[in-house]
Structure 1
């Protein structure tokens, strides 16, 4: 069973490099990145090798789904 790494996008160890790739602890990030609003999950992003790749899910303040979209096949 594989465990997906999940990080908070506001973590001080999260950065973006000059090529706009997401880094965590100075390495390209693969996994789920979250944003919270008022302590609740607001947005969930999926990244592969530092690039947003896969579903993104946004939620209302009360936790109900708001919208979702998908980015795939980054070079």
Structure 2
């Protein structure tokens, strides 16, 4: 199933103070994309106006900047961020309900580990 896709610059696109997205006056279900100088820099999936599904961001040169999944507006599962040079910058693992961080790992631009944290499993 292909989701409808709208551009964040579409005049019918609206986001309220609670970050609920509407299109043509209705809560939006589908993908919202953002372009800067012709380059795709953001793709966020919404369900009934709330972030729900895959989310990705890119640097202007097309290099992936971040990716993750949201459910009901909360990050769930694994999310990653990359440095502009393409090296992995961070990896965060969230609980299935998005309310608890389970792991955080971070690296510098050269790939050296700078932080590693794991939640108590007890």
TM class by shorter chain equals 0.7 to 0.9
Structure 2, unmatched stretches of 5+, are 74-122
What is the RMSD of the two structures over their aligned residues, measured on CA atoms?
1.5
Q: Could you tell me which residue of structure 2 aligns to residue 55 of structure 1?
A: 54
State the 1:16 CA deviation.
2.1
Secondary structure of 1:53's counterpart equals: strand
Q: Could you tell me which residue of structure 2 aligns to residue 20 of structure 1?
A: 19
Structure 1, unmatched stretches of 5+, are none
Aligned residues: 73
Q: Conserved in 1, the CA contact under 8 Å of 2:29 and 2:47?
A: yes
Which deviates more, 57-66 or 12-21?
A: 12-21
Q: Conserved in 1, the CA contact under 8 Å of 2:50 and 2:72?
A: no
Q: Equivalents in 2 of 1:23, 1:59: separation in Å?
A: 24
Per-residue CA distance 1:29-66 (angstroms, 9 max, x = gap):
00000011111100000000000111210101111111
Regions of 4+ moved over 6 Å: none
TM-score normalised by L of structure 2: 0.55
Q: Equivalents in 1 of 2:49, 2:9: separation in Å?
A: 15
